Amino acid sequence: MKRIFFSTLVLLLMVLTVSALGEQRQITVTENVAYRTDVGPNTVLDMAQPLFGPQQDRPAILIIHGGGWNAGSKDDAVYRSLMIDYAMKGYVVCNMNYRLIREAPMPACIEDVKAAINWMKSNAQKLGIDPQRIGTYGHSAGGHLSLMAGLTADVACAAGGAPPTEIGRPGEWADHTEWWPVGYIGKCKTPFLVLQGAEDPLVKPELTEDWVKKMQQAGASVDYVKVHGNHGVAFDQQLEFTRPAMDAFYARYLKHDDPGISFEQLKVPDFGGSGRSKAVAVREPSLPDFVVYRPLNIRRKLPVLIFCNGGCMDTSIGYENMLTDVASYGYLVVAVGEMQMFAQHENDRPTPSSVVQKALDWVSKQTSDPASPYYDKIDAANIAAAGHSCGGAQVLANCGDPRLKTYIILNAGMGKMTMADASAKSLRNLHGPILYLVGGQTDVAWKNAQMDYKAITKVPVVLADNVNSGHGGTYEQPNGGANSRMVRAWLDWQLKGKDDNEKLFIEGDLNGYDNWTIEHKNFVKKTKK
């Protein structure tokens, strides 16, 4: 038995929720435990057990190695590291070997996986495992075996990276559909997570997607995460995307931290933000042309920010650092444009100003639908809209909507121009406080923002100038830079009632904001009691 100590600091890049700096967590690793003794020496597993937290009724994960069913081992560094990583997250993790096809023909490996699951269940009390909370993971051939476990064994969930769902070529194996996930199309109680590289030359994405779509159409719960990359996706490539998806999947179905999260695709920009609630970007099936930035675990009702992009474009990837950071402080951000894992600006398209109404309607529906994963998790009385450049005009085109409580116009202003269905006349429809944020006189929107500021007479308005930032602002800097902090300070004041932020906007206390200026008007002075 080996006793291993790891600092959470070492795992900072791998986890969604980081424990206190310097905390040490202790686990034990037991090697080469036989889960069956009737078929030869290779049916053994390693097991990592947390020595912290509860010691009974814990969630468990079974890791199944890849290698084309004819190679590979539990001793591969990737699988051993994964075992230790998830044990550090509080799971009991078993990392198994199985009979390779040169030792025993198909379907012996499938039978071995079932035997390992049965061994975990039979020894659940001794291992401190909840037998109803065992999940599986595998990559490539192991991904196939993991999906087969979800289809033919009693597990709580099953995840597979680059998983062959059918053999894809003629021959004896193709004749046995009972050996392949494609032979089990239909409604299944087991939830699945499928991770696929878009350029995988071995496991064709079109075959994976065909299985996913057919299973979803049959009523099965299958989350699909597709990222750019080849066969190493979810093994040693694109882990910054696939590992958080796995974290969320196992948290949902094994730890039951947040059973309502319903992502179709998940991304963790900028390490989840600087706030206490690490945030993710998800594509919700009920809102496919938007990205929802949100805390992974929603523990209280969240105020909402609707966000429109520069150029009125259909992607928020240039703002995801800022939007993730805002979300990590307890906000639900609904941003225009479907999710991009990587910037693909050659495919960007302009959007109509009606996207703001679509986002607001979606938010309203979630708050009133008990079946929604966001039901009772949205503070519908506190909704803001923000937009950069042309996106700011989209906000002003919709500023009369009574559901909006406040507005943020980033590097934008109408002046004497008309854009995105908005003009200076749109300012008459404002009914809540508004923040203009510009980037100095090199910002092409600076003069128009100044004109808007002078023209607004009926609602409180602040003009904040990050003098040297220009039209592009700081949005792509880590955590969105200073502009993001200013946006969050405004939201905290207007939507969360943090009156201390009045010092920044009304008293001009710019401590921590070098090279900024702030003006304000139309605020009612508070009477001293």
Q: Give how far Cα 297 sits from Cα of 69, 327, 329, 331, 373, Å.
A: 37, 11, 12, 12, 11
Residue identified by tokens 């109803």 is 132
Q: Mean of the pLDDT values across residues 219-226?
A: 87
Could you tell me which of 371, 367, 370 has the C-alpha nearest to residue 379? 367
What 8-state DSSP symbol labels residue 254? I
What confidence category does residue 11 fall into, taking pLDDT thresholds of 50, 70 and 90? very low
CA distance linking residue 164 with residue 405, whole number of Å: 50
Share of the chain above pLDDT 90, in %: 75
| Number of separate helices (H) and strands (E) present in the chain | 13, 19
Residue identified by tokens 């990559």 is 139
314: amino acid identity, one letter: D
Strand partners, 521: 461
Q: Give how far Cα 78 sits from Cα of 83, 95, 99, 160, Å.
A: 9, 11, 20, 15
CA distance linking residue 521 with residue 223, whole number of Å: 49
The tokens describing 266, both together, are 């998940």
CA distance linking residue 154 with residue 148, whole number of Å: 11
Q: Mean of the pLDDT values across residues 468-491?
A: 97
What 8-state DSSP symbol labels residue 238? S
Q: Give how far Cα 249 sits from Cα of 54, 59, 110, 254, Å.
A: 21, 13, 23, 8
CA distance linking residue 315 with residue 308, whole number of Å: 9
Q: Could you write out the DSSP letters of every residue in 409-442?
A: EES---TT--BTTB-GGGGGG--S-EEEEE--TT
Q: Where in the chain is the domain with CATH 3.40.50.1820?
A: 2-255, 265-521
Q: Mean of the pLDDT values across residues 333-350?
A: 86
CA 414 to mean position of chain CA atoms: 35
pLDDT (0 to 100) of residue 22: 40
154-169 tens-digit pLDDT: 999 999 999 999 986 6
DSSP strand pairing (290-295 vs 265-267): unpaired
What 8-state DSSP symbol labels residue 523? P
355: burial class by Cβ within 10 Å (0-12, 13-18, 19+)? buried
Task: Count other Cβ atoms within 10 Å, centred on residue 113.
Answer: 26
Q: Mean of the pLDDT values across residues 328-339?
A: 96
232-279 tens-digit pLDDT: 989 998 887 788 889 888 988 998 765 455 566 677 677 688 998 888
Q: Mean of the pLDDT values across residues 347-358?
A: 95
pLDDT (0 to 100) of residue 24: 65
pLDDT (0 to 100) of residue 53: 87
161: burial class by Cβ within 10 Å (0-12, 13-18, 19+)? buried
DSSP strand pairing (378-388 vs 332-336): unpaired
pLDDT (0 to 100) of residue 342: 66
* Residue 14 reports pLDDT greater than 50: no
Could you tell me which of 277, 287, 146, 273 has the C-alpha nearest to residue 222? 146
513: amino acid identity, one letter: Y
393-429 tens-digit pLDDT: 999 999 999 999 999 999 999 999 999 999 999 999 9
pLDDT (0 to 100) of residue 19: 37
265-521: CATH superfamily: Alpha/Beta hydrolase fold, catalytic domain (3.40.50.1820)
Backbone angles phi, psi at 366, to 5 degrees: -65, -35
pLDDT (0 to 100) of residue 3: 33
Who contacts 444 (Cβ-Cβ below 8 Å, separation ≥6)? 471
Q: Mean of the pLDDT values across residues 34-47?
A: 94
* Residue 179 reports pLDDT greater than 50: yes
Is the Cα torsion angle 513, 514, 516, 519 positive or negative in sign? positive
pLDDT (0 to 100) of residue 229: 87
The tokens describing 344, both together, are 């693909």
2-255: CATH superfamily: Alpha/Beta hydrolase fold, catalytic domain (3.40.50.1820)
CA distance linking residue 147 with residue 158, whole number of Å: 6
CB 385 within 8 A of CB 398: yes
* Residue 283 reports pLDDT greater than 70: yes
CA distance linking residue 493 with residue 123, whole number of Å: 54
CB 498 within 8 A of CB 329: no
CA distance linking residue 414 with residue 36, whole number of Å: 73
Q: Name the least confident of 182-191, 336-345, 370-379, 466-475.
A: 336-345
85: amino acid identity, one letter: D
Q: Could you write out the DSSP letters of every residue in 390-416?
A: HHHHHHHHTTT-TT--EEEEES---TT
Strand partners, 281: 267, 293
